[in-house]
Amino acid sequence: MFAENEDGGPLNSRCARLELARRGLARPFAERTKEIAGAEGPDGKPLPAHRPK
Amino acid, res. 28? P
| Overall pTM surpassing 0.75 (yes/no) | no
Give the pLDDT score at 5: 59
Instruction: Report the C-alpha gap between 12 and 2 in whole angstroms.
Output: 6
Give the pLDDT score at 4: 60
DSSP 37-53: HHHHS-----GGGGS--
Q: What is the pLDDT of residues 25-46, one digit of tens each?
A: 888 988 998 888 888 776 777 7
